[in-house]
Amino acid sequence: MKIRYSKETDALYIRFNEKEIDSSDEIAEGVIVDFNSEGEIVAIEILDVSKRADISKILVESFQKVEVVG
């Protein structure tokens, strides 16, 4: 996973994998989701991100693998 922030464009880009992007859909104003040909999410881009969240600090947390029972 790769996370990039562009101060110039105020955009946050989260890339989950390196699969080829086949299509994109703006699911909300300024929130674009990229899909591969199988319909899996490849990336998410958030425009005007500083207006949506406090980006002065970016906290990255890693979660341990958790087994979901149900």
Q: Per the domain annotation, does 27 fall within a domain?
A: yes
State the average pLDDT over residues 29-58.
93
Q: Please determine, for residue 40, whether its predicted confidence score (pLDDT) is greater than 90.
A: yes
Q: Per the domain annotation, does 13 fall within a domain?
A: yes
| pLDDT of the residue at 54 | 84
Give me the domain span that covers residue 19: 2-52
Q: Per the domain annotation, does 61 fall within a domain?
A: no
Phi, psi (degrees; rounded to nearest 5) at 45: -120, 135
Token look-up 């958030």 returns 46
Q: Per the domain annotation, does 23 fall within a domain?
A: yes
Q: Per the domain annotation, does 57 fall within a domain?
A: no
| Number of domains the chain is built from | 1
Q: Please determine, for residue 61, whether its predicted confidence score (pLDDT) is greater than 70.
A: no
Q: Per the domain annotation, does 68 fall within a domain?
A: no
Q: Where would I find the H helices in the chain?
A: 49-52
Q: What is the pTM of this model?
A: 0.79
